[in-house]
């Protein structure tokens, strides 16, 4: 799981998306549609310097 900077979407397996969309059908819109540039900028400000390694990656 990760982030596609070109499409500005969550990059995850089809199985992950099926599970998440079953949890909440509103998540379906995030599968192929990017987010607004303003929200993208805020997310980078909040999480851009976070790196996960080891067992939590």
> pLDDT > 90: what percent of the chain?
18
In sequence order, the 6+-apart residues with CB closer than 8 A to the CB of 34 are 7, 8, 9, 40
Range of the domain at 15: 2-56
> How many domains, in total, are found in the chain?
1
Q: How many CB atoms lie within 10 A of CB 35?
A: 15
- State pLDDT tens for residues 6-38: 888 888 899 999 998 999 998 888 888 877 778
Contacts of 56 (CB under 8 A, 6+ apart): none
Continuous segment of H or E residues that includes residue 57: none
pLDDT computed for residue 37 by the predictor: 73
Whole-prediction pTM value? 0.58
Closest C-alpha to 12, from 36, 54, 27: 27
């Amino acid at each position: 799981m990760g982030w596609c900077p070109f499409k500005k979407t969550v990059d995850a397996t089809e199985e992950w998306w099926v599970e998440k969309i079953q949890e909440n059908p509103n998540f379906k819109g995030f599968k192929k549609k990017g987010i607004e540039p303003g929200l993208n900028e805020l997310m980078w400000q909040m999480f851009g310097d976070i790196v996960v390694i080891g067992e939590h990656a």
